[in-house]
Structure 1
């Protein structure tokens, strides 16, 4: 049976997550449904891209991925269906697709919406399910939707680079309140070039080595490591790094809404590494 993953920002407090699954079972009942998460915060594109990107790449080729995040950023006239590296993604045309892939998709089509229908979450789910069915039955993606579509592009959030430093944004805080920064191991080593380093955050907190596990430091001590997705993580062994250090995730919405506080707020949303 083909796999279909579900990722959304609709939460688990009402009927909607279950109703989406019901719609999929009605229209594409032969798929095996797999929840990634329904707890993504609304309007936070960098966090959604991080979660989707690092979940999707662990599934086998041929998997279908339904990403229902910020579905109604604008009044939708169409949805997007992409084919990339052997898997399929359905999502809104809101820029998130290119942030997840970190590039333009190899193939993408528009799924046009019926102007006479109310454009709610369940209707959009049924549109995606019909398209997934057609793909699974062997129809080329170019025949499933409109391949002439010009999609909305958002660039992924990248770290800032200097000759002797790299600065990343906090893109995720996990269930243990460990802090994930958008600096990958590859980017770190490329910028480091064998030099010693200091990881600095909240003005006076410094870490000077990379740990392999949380247990590399004493209980209650801070550490830096690269997580299972190979992103830089700031943590406290058996502690709460985000809460104790006053760190918070980067937010586009917060950035635009509070521009006059930008410098102060972003300082606590960033981590800088100095190389010597």
Structure 2
């Protein structure tokens, strides 16, 4: 039974997600479709990479991951089909592929979309391509590609006694996730004491907790979440709202450049 995941910036307020699922089921009747998220930002690739990349690793071999983020950023002539370990990713050639994989996959192909113009025209081509791959039919509209748009996740800025980490995700509880893994943190920390600065000279976190119950309700805490990234929260509270922490600013006068807010960690 083939598995297809579906991630997008479409939202759930109209018919499109349902229509695309209908196309997939019509082409591959025995498939299982798993939604990752349809609330991704069309411009925040770092967010999409965090959400998708950390979900994909839990799916079985031969899963197809369909990603529709900023789908029509530029005129489409083809879509990318890449091997991702023992799975596959299908997405536009807009940098999303390498944001998720963090490297350039060895096997990347282009799916020629022909005369497809609308979103549903394109997804019809995708559904037919997946069906052919599953059944072993010849792929007449797929060819290898060498030049692709490559974008990569930002890394924290590092000094001798500080780290500036970007806020890459804020969840529904307004907990804040930074682009700093446990391995990166410990490598830079070198067993030193630290302060996570929430508000200049007034609010700090000075220890890593195991879980929310490690502190009393209303207290700040930091912990490494299930994805391995540093997360800042308040037990039964709202850390993003309380301290004015934001994911990014989308500045229209800077060609949609995303300005990520940083959180500083100091060592002593």
TM range (shorter): over 0.9
Instruction: Return the TM-score normalized by structure 2.
Output: 0.93
Does the Cα contact within 8 Å between 1:7 and 1:36 map onto a contact in 2? yes
Q: What is the count of residue pairs matched by the alignment?
A: 267
Q: Which has the larger helix fraction?
A: 1
Kindly state the Cα deviation for residue 253 of structure 1 after the two structures are TM-superposed.
Answer: 5.1
CA–CA distance in structure 2, aligned partners of residues 155 and 140 of structure 1 = 33
CA–CA distance in structure 1, aligned partners of residues 149 and 167 of structure 2 = 24
Candidates 240, 247, 250, aligned match of 1:249: 247
What is residue 168 of structure 1 aligned with on the other side?
165
Q: Does 1:183 align with 2:175?
A: no
CA–CA distance in structure 2, aligned partners of residues 166 and 54 of structure 1 = 23
Unaligned 5+ segments in structure 1 are: none
Does the Cα contact within 8 Å between 1:134 and 1:144 map onto a contact in 2? no
Query: CA distance change for structure 1 residues 76 and 44 in 2, over 3 Å: closer, same or farther?
Result: same
Q: Which has the larger strand fraction?
A: 2
1:154-206 CA distance string (max 9 Å, x none)? 12121111122221100110011100111011111111112111111342431
Unaligned 5+ segments in structure 2 are: none
Instruction: Return the TM-score normalized by structure 1.
Output: 0.90
CA–CA distance in structure 1, aligned partners of residues 46 and 171 of structure 2 = 14
SS across alignment from 1:225 = strand
CA–CA distance in structure 2, aligned partners of residues 201 and 150 of structure 1 = 42
Q: Does 1:274 align with 2:248?
A: no
Does the Cα contact within 8 Å between 1:62 and 1:86 map onto a contact in 2? yes
Structure 1 residues 125-274: aligned runs within 5 Å: 125-138=123-136, 145-204=142-201, 205-251=203-249, 256=254, 269-274=261-266
1:80-111 CA distance string (max 9 Å, x none)? 11112100010010001100010001211011
CA–CA distance in structure 2, aligned partners of residues 254 and 202 of structure 1 = 28
Pairwise CA RMSD of aligned residues? 2.1
What is residue 58 of structure 1 aligned with on the other side?
58
1:110-157 CA distance string (max 9 Å, x none)? 111213x3x22211111211221222223698x761203411101212
Does the Cα contact within 8 Å between 1:44 and 1:251 map onto a contact in 2? no
